Amino acid sequence: MLKGDSLWFRYGPQLPWTVQNISLAVAPGEVLGIMAPSGYGKTTIGKLLSGYLPAIKGAVSVNGRSLPQKGYCPVQLVFQNPELAVNPRWRIRQILQEGGKLNLAQLAAFGIHPNWLSRYPHELSGGELQRVAISRILNSATRYIIADEMTAMLDANTQALIWQIVLDFVKKQQIGLVAISHEQRLLERLCDRILNL
């Protein structure tokens, strides 16, 4: 179980709270949606749950233990913009290998062309790079995925294609998924449960 317990966060001691007393939990194999108005700190909640930011009050835990400080984090965050998530100086092959051995069948399913592997991130389009970023985290060390507007910049067909693969993986591997989005109808398609903050 991934749990956020009474989480509080603000970006500076004088600033207003971005996240105020939020608690949530997601079980292995469960898909939880988060809907909230703008300015409600949805993106910050995603960063707290995945260890990108430390909660000022409250705690994040996986099976009762806090997130590891070093090594691969079992909770992986995917944002809207892949440019921020990959090392710009690495080739695509190296970026993918960060998530373990290359899984050729999965790359093919994502439409990741073998000749992309030797390219650098800036040589791919945003949509192509996003598939790389997602494919990288679909590996056995990932236990929870936080998808923050993960497909907001993709066309409808690519969006549906990517979610088909991700949902299939999540069910088979019993991964817990938190989907954060503005799009009610997308969340209704994806989620077992939707949290309206």
Residues that bind another protein (CB under 8 A): 37-39, 80, 111, 113, 115, 125-128, 149, 152-161, 163-164, 182-183, 185-186, 188-189
Shorter beta-carbon distance to another protein: residue 62 or 150: 150
**CA separation for the pair 139, 105 (Å, rounded):** 13
Asked whether the beta carbons of 128 and 116 are under 8 A apart, the reply is yes
Paired sense of beta strands 19-26 and 2-9, if any: antiparallel
Residue 135 is classified by DSSP as H
Residue 7 has, within 13 A of its CA and on its CB side, a CA count of: 27
Paired sense of beta strands 176-180 and 193-196, if any: unpaired
What's the closest the beta carbon of residue 112 comes to another protein, in angstroms?
A: 9
What's the closest the beta carbon of residue 106 comes to another protein, in angstroms?
A: 14
What's the closest the beta carbon of residue 32 comes to another protein, in angstroms?
A: 17
What's the closest the beta carbon of residue 104 comes to another protein, in angstroms?
A: 15
Shorter beta-carbon distance to another protein: residue 13 or 37: 37
Shorter beta-carbon distance to another protein: residue 2 or 186: 186
